[in-house]
Chain A
Amino acid sequence: MNWKTFLAILARDAHVARRNFVALLFQTFLQPLMFVFIFGRVMVGSGYMPPSYKSLLLPGIMAICMVGTGIWAVAMPVIAEFQFTHEIEDRLLAPMEISWLAVEKVVAGTLQSLAAGLMVIPAAWLLLRPGVDLRVPHPLLFAAVSLLVALFSATGGLALGCSMQQTHIGLMFSLIVAPMIFFGCTYYPWSALESFPILQKAVLVNPLVYASEGLRATLVPQFPHLPLPAVLAVLLFANFLLMAMGLRKFYGKAVS
């Protein structure tokens, strides 16, 4: 393992992210914050939603931002750089094992996802205030869940990006990412699905459910949520699975 090379490639990604910072900001936050404004502010303010919905919504929005950012930050460059611009070739020829390049992508995606998650909390809080009741009884647990969620988004981005043709990017978002978000217990808690028993079981295959429920359990534990140990176990498992799959596919793309 060659740390100098690894860090230099990470620095390159940071440089590019900094260059595209404003575009990234809009892309990451505009849609979720509009949602926060309409549902958390307008609907609550006009009495269509109970005031407690503000606190319930925030962890879900955080999950959407983190997962969206991580997937986008890893999958898009992987697709474009392999198939369209070939610009990854210079980094494939850097003096480091090829698989470490995939790891670097995951690290970069994880960091971006964490940054998005940390930034959306104050932004949403400002939009919703007053009446947001964040408790965070165990900050360390919250940090652990956030890290696992960020990792999940990045490994998922790697696996997706390496499985997808450039012409299917739109399809990837409408067929995989969008259903994941809507059936991911982001805008409602898992317990809200009680009256739809089949759906409630079915959504359990969606890792985003565990991400939003995990954040809910650590940010606003006053609401019902999935048990935290189960959340941690599933997220951990999903991360391993997606990472292994991503690495294998990445290697297959890199070497003919």
Chain B
Amino acid sequence: MLAGIRTVDLRKVYTSPPPVAAGVGGFSFGGSKAKSKQPKPQITALDGVSLEIKAGEIFCLLGPNGAGKSTTVGILTTRVRPTSGQAFIGDHDVWLNQVVVKRLIGVVAQRPNLDFNLTAREILTFHGAYFGLSHHERSKRAEALLERFKLTDRADHMVRGFSGGMMQRLSIARAMMHDPQVLFLDEPSAGLDPQTRLLLWEIVREYNQTGKTILLTTHNMEEGDALCQRLAIIDHGRVIALGTPCELKASVPGGFLLRLRFGVHSPEFLERLQSLSGVREVRATDGVGADLYADRGGSLVPAVAQLASAAGVELHDVHISEPSLENLFLHHTGRSLRE
């Protein structure tokens, strides 16, 4: 039953404007005359995306807004028709076997889509009913999920008055209700407070422990870094880098950061650090600390230590951080992911 995810050269060209702009459209009864005069827009959201995500993996799509993350998730969850290419959940072609695929997946969409006419508990139990769970089974699961997501005290309230974070937690609980093999989370932590984000990460890891595949999208590199076994960085509908967080970060030149602490240091000493080969920049943090940006990490430490002892400065502490995904994105696109 374990199911992975595979896409082959997915392309998606939208021929209508994005939904936000569609509000000005007006009546569309029959053939709308006003619209057909303007040329149809052609928005290429995906431009040949091929991915292979193993069963049981936590995989992350990382990219800025408009990169095509939600479109990829949409295609994989039957909500968007691919212009060309194929998408598979397990062995099932998503477009051709929609009902089979829908049984295998749980989806948390980017924008909230909770049923406003129901209470939190009813949202879970009705979702369970859609998937054919027995009455007993769905009450039991709903209770457990409400507990796990810390929603028990609001379980029988209408969700209309819920905060964004509570809605998000309930959306995730709902997606897990029918115990899907593959879980999609589209920007799950956008707008969550740090504490809830940690709860989310914990729950995602726990769900993954049971062999489930998880695809999550984010434009937050720390999340991709902390949570995922592998990730793909996408921009303008193309995969620009793919691998484990470590592999990806190692591919960035000059991306290491050495945080050094000395007994005491002087400007002359920092200048000498600057002249070491591979060092790009040195910044004093206070009287005793310095941040050293360089294109290598551990291999630079002996040289630093040597320099320090030659200058009579005592080296107290060295902390090496690996290059970050942020730097990788910057390196590939010349833009910052945060924008």
User: Which A residues lie at the B interface, using CB under 8 A?
Assistant: 2, 4-5, 8-9, 11-12, 15-16, 19-20, 83, 85-98, 163-168, 254-256
Contact = CB atoms under 8 A, between A and B. Distances in A.
Given A8-B129, A16-B118, A87-B114, A95 B103 contact: yes
B174 interface: yes
A165 B116 contact: no
B81 A86 contact: no
Contact of A256 (B14, B98, B102): B14
Interface core residue of B23, B107, B111, B131 (most chain A CB under 10 Å): B131
B283 interface: no
Interface in B92-136: 98-99, 102-103, 105, 107, 109, 111-118, 122-123, 126-127, 129-132
Given A4-B132, A87-B113, A87-B114, A12 B126 contact: yes
Given A8-B129, A16-B118, A168-B26, A93 B99 contact: no
9 contacts: A5-B131, A19-B117, A87-B115, A89-B79, A92-B78, A93-B107, A97-B98, A163-B27, A168-B26
Contact of A85 (B19, B26, B116): B116
- What 9 A-B pairs have minimum CB-CB distances, sorted nearest first? A8-B129, A94-B130, A86-B113, A89-B113, A16-B117, A4-B132, A87-B115, A95-B102, A95-B103
Contact of B74 (A11, A83, A256): A256
Contacts of A164: 27
Nearest to A255: B81
A12 B174 CA distance: 15
Contacts of A168: 26-27
B1 to A, nearest CB: 15
A90 B122 contact: no
Given A86-B111, A163-B27, A95 B130 contact: yes
B23 A165 contact: yes
A167 B23 contact: yes
Interface of B: 14, 16, 19, 22-23, 25-29, 74, 77-81, 98-99, 102-103, 105, 107, 109, 111-118, 122-123, 126-127, 129-132, 174
B179 to A, nearest CB: 13
A91 B130 contact: yes
B236 to A, nearest CB: 19
Given A86-B111, A95-B132, A97-B98, 5 more contacts: A5-B132, A8-B126, A19-B117, A93-B107, A95-B103
Given A5-B132, A8-B130, A256-B74, A96 B99 contact: yes
Interface core residue of A12, A167, A254 (most chain B CB under 10 Å): A12
Nearest to B99: A95
Contact of B113 (A15, A16, A90, A254): A90
A86 B116 CA distance: 10
Contacts of B107: 93
A168 to B, nearest CB: 7
A89 B99 contact: no
Contacts of B27: 163-165, 168
Contacts of B109: 86, 89
A15 to B, nearest CB: 7
Nearest to B159: A87
Contacts of B131: 5, 94-95
B169 to A, nearest CB: 15
A242 to B, nearest CB: 12
Interface core residue of B14, B25, B29 (most chain A CB under 10 Å): B29
B118 to A, nearest CB: 7
Given A93-B77, A164-B27, A256-B79, A9 B130 contact: yes
Contacts of A91: 130
Contacts of B81: 255-256
A134 B319 CA distance: 92
A255 to B, nearest CB: 5
Given A86-B109, A93-B107, A2 B99 contact: yes
Contacts of B99: 2, 95-97
A255 B80 contact: yes
A100 to B, nearest CB: 10
A8 B26 CA distance: 34
